[in-house]
Amino acid sequence: MENWWTYHKGYVIVGMILLWILADLLRSGWNARMDAPDFQVAYVGGAPLGDDLIRMLEMAFETIAPDRNGDGKTIVRIQSYLLETPRDLPDAALAQLAADIRLTADIESQESVFFMSEDLERLQASYGILETADGTCPGANGTAGADQVRRLSVFSILERIALMEEAGFAVRDVLEPSAPELFYSLSIGRRCFHGMVPDEDLAAADEFWDNLTGA
């Protein structure tokens, strides 16, 4: 037995390391699956919202979003895409290109169910992905309905669910110094998914939207 261990201990140690790596990968994958968001909301704008404001909005949406993946908890993630990068930043052009690519990838992979912006008309004119006021998809040319986006005021949503009082802080405490006007101008629109996603996903999006509107 001693001779066996002498000749094979290297293989045993390598095998144990590989098993540990495999277990760690499985654990990480499971945690990622368990922490997967029920809904992703894209913020597409010209200025960053700031981490505190993003977290406040996520908390607000989580209070009214359904548990889409059935894991016993509701997670809403806000993903930011900046339309304009300050020209004085290093590699501003590359940063802008990267943001455009990430937004396009989000749209193509249908990651975000809702889109939030201070200028939904610009987003609609560029991509034609949001439901129009009557709940239908825009025209095939991608620009129809740019002035008729189905929208909700983000601030009115927060007012209705009284998150600001429940969370124990006021809006002014979490806004970036230059962002108050941006916050009050934010609107949220719904991605047009008709015929593109399973019925159960569409039903979950319907429920979330109804909760946002207070229907």
The string of pLDDT tens digits covering residues 40-78 is 999 998 888 888 888 888 988 888 899 988 888 899 999
Predicted pLDDT at 112: 92
Residue 202 has pLDDT above 50, yes or no: yes
Q: What pLDDT band is residue 87 in, cutting at 50, 70 and 90?
A: low
CB 117 within 8 A of CB 187: yes
CA distance 176 to 214: 28
pLDDT confidence tier of residue 83, bands split at 50, 70 and 90: confident
> How far is C-alpha 157 from the geometric centre of its chain's CA atoms?
17
Query: 28 versus 96: which is more confidently predicted?
Result: 96
Does the pLDDT value for residue 28 go beyond 50?
no
The model's pLDDT over 102-149, given as tens digits with 9 standing for 90+, comes to 888 889 888 899 999 988 888 888 888 898 877 777 764 444 455 678
- Best CA proximity match to 65, nearest among 78, 82, 53: 78
pLDDT at 13 over 70: no
Q: Is the pLDDT of residue 190 over 50?
A: yes
DSSP, residue by residue, the chain: -HHHHHHHHHHHHHHHHHHHHHHHHHHHHHHHHHT--SEEEEEEESS---HHHHHHHHHHHHTT---TT-SSS--EEEEEEES---TTSTTHHHHHHHHHHHHHHHHHHT--SEEEES-HHHHHHHH--B-BTTSPPPPTTS-TTTT-B-EEEHHHHHHHHTHHHHHT--GGGTS-TT-HHHHHT-EEEEB--TTTS-HHHHHHHHHHHHHHHT-
Averaged pLDDT of the chain: 75
